[in-house]
Amino acid sequence: MTTENEDLLYGVPAIAEAFKWKPRQVYHLKEKHGLPTFKMGRTVCALKSDVRAWIATRAGKVAA
């Protein structure tokens, strides 16, 4: 089990790197498709576990 610090992705570059996306893709997924993010100050953050669950849900919708 990961600790919350290991689960936290701080900033769009960190989110993009963790999922092998480009930063622009992160912004697009956030704005148009509901990528689960939150802000700490002005910085966009996400939890790896939330993003993985979101991806699994999206994959289920595509397969159905």
Domain limits, the chain: 4-63
**pTM: predicted TM-score of the whole model, two decimal places:** 0.86
Residues of the chain with pLDDT below 50 are none
**pLDDT at 63 (0 to 100):** 65
**pLDDT at 5 (0 to 100):** 78
**pLDDT at 8 (0 to 100):** 98
**pLDDT at 16 (0 to 100):** 99
**pLDDT at 37 (0 to 100):** 98
The count of other CB atoms within 10 Å of the CB of residue 5 is: 7
